[in-house]
Chains A and B, each alone.
Chain A
Amino acid sequence: MILKPIFTLLLISVFTVVGFSQEKYFTKEAEITFVSKSEVIVIDGTNKKSGSIFNINTGELVFIVIVDDFDFHIPLAEEHFNENYLESEVYPKAKFKGKIKDYQKLDLKKDGTYPVIVEGEMKIHGVTKDVTEKGILSIENGEIKAESHFFILLKDYNIKIPSLVSDKVNEKIAISVSAKYKPFNP
């Protein structure tokens, strides 16, 4: 009798593969901002051209961020960010691949906001790390919005600040992610 659930499971997994092209939501204008704030200097950058895709059947989501697309208030900070810290010529993209935990328990048919936990792999500066962060999923008139605020540590992604400037830049970086999805029509 154990076969029955397994059969169902297999069916579901096959079904999702076949059927999921209609169930994808997508944006090319997800907004990622980061702030490193110390007593001496505030360095912040905004990227409004990040891509994200979200499967509303499975709760899986992918983000792709072009590192070079961050805009800064301080032009020199942008050059250093790309040249020395993120090394965007070597590692042009940052990525997140993961899924919403216990997604099947969520009922997203009604408008509203749903606190979620997202698990997956974050790849920055060529270093992949498993992460679990809190986020908010909101549904309004059929539009899906995903938001998350979290911190990363530069040393987790092998980004080194030289001793000469280390007192100026905060190692702990606050990151905000905001994506408004539309149905994906290939």
Chain B
Amino acid sequence: MKHIIYILVCLFFPVLSFAQLDEMEDLLENEMGERTDYATATFKSTRVINGHSVERMQKGDLDFRISHRFGSVKTGAYELFGIDHSTSLLSLEYGITDWLMLGIGRGTYKKTFSGFAKFSLLRQCSGAKNIPISASYLIGSELNSMHWLNPERDNYFSSRLSYIHQLLIARKLNRRISLQLSGLIVHRNLVETISENNDLYVAGIAGRIKITNRLAFCSEYFYTFNNASNYTNPFSIGFDIETGSHVFQIHLTNTTAMQEAGFLGDTMDLWSEGNIHIGFNITRVFTLKKQEHDS
């Protein structure tokens, strides 16, 4: 009899006290209520490959970007698969607030200076507040600083300019897969031939699949609705490799320009003909302004 009660007590007592802790835990969970979870890092960088991603720099963060696209891999071993020739883009991009970033850049393609502002319109979240997508709007302009093609005719400064409007909509489907759709209008004040339209209408699709926490596969494609027939649509695949404050993006693409008017308007190479280019973007983020938290 004694033994049975002993055993019963030994069995019961820890169960009871555990149940109590669990009950306290449930109570606390209830009290803390439902919260809003924002999707973070839908993409690892502010660019998927050539085109923008829905991501922005956070407030006070400066992104220094160095990007290169090499010559065609078709040139073979003599040209080290294109690496002997390169175009580049250097840029500085900064988060003014958590919903606005500004960027400036200079690319070798058509000696182009560029500037843009990207606004975060919506942030995907779930829980107490529910928004299924993230959305950003980008407005940019580019300045072609090449010597005039026809110096003898009347040339206007405005002829050097192009404008870009882009609406980006993305969804992080799960922690590995993100998808993005975008629509663009690229207005070129001056085009080279009569067969080219000043306004280009472009649709873009991009995606990312995370392979590990620090390695992701990315791809993007832009479809140009009304470009002259000798131009092609840029398609790129690549990998994002993250190491602390650097992200290395290494890719294969059929375009060598890295600013919108260039890669959307002037791409002529075709994957099917093997005119593929190796390229990379290196981004280094510096935190210029540390976040203040009231303490």
| Nearest B residue to A20, CB-CB | B20
Residue pair A83, B31 in contact (C-beta under 8 Å): no
Q: Is the CB of B290 within 8 A of A74?
A: yes
A68 contacts the other chain (CB 8 A):
yes
A9 to chain B, nearest CB (A): 7
A148 to B287, CA, bound (A): 31
Type the 1/0 row for B69-101, where 1 means its CB is closer than 8 Å to any CB of A.
000000000000000000000000001000000
Within the complex, the shortest CB–CB distance from A178 to chain B, in Å, comes to 12
Contact B27 A165 (CB under 8 A): no
Determine whether the beta carbon of B61 is less than 8 Å from that of A62: no
Whether A60 contacts B24 in the complex (CB less than 8 A), given A13-B12, A26-B31, A162-B243, comes out as: yes
Contact size range, B: 35 or more
| 19 pairs, A vs B, C-beta closer than 8 Å | A3-B2, A10-B9, A10-B12, A26-B31, A51-B31, A52-B28, A58-B17, A61-B24, A64-B28, A68-B37, A74-B287, A76-B287, A79-B40, A83-B40, A83-B213, A84-B242, A92-B37, A99-B17, A162-B243
Given contacts A71-B291, A168-B244, contact A76 B58 (CB under 8 A): yes
Chain B residues with CB under 8 Å of A75's CB are 58-61, 95, 287, 291
Of residues 41 through 68 on chain A, the ones whose CB sits less than 8 Å from some CB of chain B are 46, 51-53, 55, 58, 60-62, 64, 66, 68
Residues on A with C-beta less than 8 A from B213 are 83-84, 87
- Contact of A60 (CB < 8 Å), options: B5, B17, B35: B17
Complex contacts, A3 vs chain B, CB 8 Å: 2, 5
Within 8 A of A (CB), among B196-244: 213-214, 242-244
With A and B bound together, what is the CA distance between A52 and B31 in angstroms? 10
Given A79-B40, A89-B37, A164-B244, 11 other A-B contacts at CB below 8 A?
A6-B9, A13-B12, A46-B295, A51-B28, A51-B31, A73-B287, A74-B287, A74-B291, A99-B17, A162-B214, A162-B243
The main secondary structure of chain B at its interface with chain A is mixed
Q: Please give me the residue from chain A that is nearest to B295 by CB atom.
A: A46
Q: Does A180 contact B (CB under 8 A)?
A: no
The one of A9, A51, A76 that contacts B13, using a Cβ cutoff of 8 Å: A9
**Docked CA distance A26–B24 (Å):** 10
CB of A6 within 8 A of CB of B291, answer no
Residues of B within 8 A of A (CB): 2, 5-6, 9, 12-13, 16-17, 19-22, 24-25, 27-29, 31-32, 35, 37-38, 40-41, 58-61, 95, 175, 213-214, 242-245, 285, 287, 290-291, 293, 295
Q: Lowest 6 CB-CB distances: which A-B pairs, in order?
A: A75-B58, A73-B290, A165-B244, A164-B243, A51-B32, A84-B213
The chain A residue sitting closest to B27, CB to CB, is A53
Knowing A28-B31, A75-B60, A82-B40 are in contact, say whether A97-B25 is a contact too (CB < 8 A).
yes
| Interface hits, A12-54 → B, CB 8 Å | 13, 16-17, 20, 24, 26, 28, 46, 51-53
Q: Which residues of the partner chain B approach A24 to less than 8 Å between Cβ atoms? A: 24, 27
Whether B20 and A71, one on each chain, are in contact in the complex, defined by CB atoms closer than 8 angstroms, is: no
Distance to closest chain A CB from B290 (angstroms):
4
| Distance in angstroms between the alpha carbons of A75 and B291 in the assembled complex | 7
A13-B13, A28-B32, A164-B243 known; A95+B25 contact, CB < 8 A: yes
Query: Who on chain A is nearest to B16 by CB?
Result: A13
Q: Is the CB of A17 within 8 A of B244?
A: no
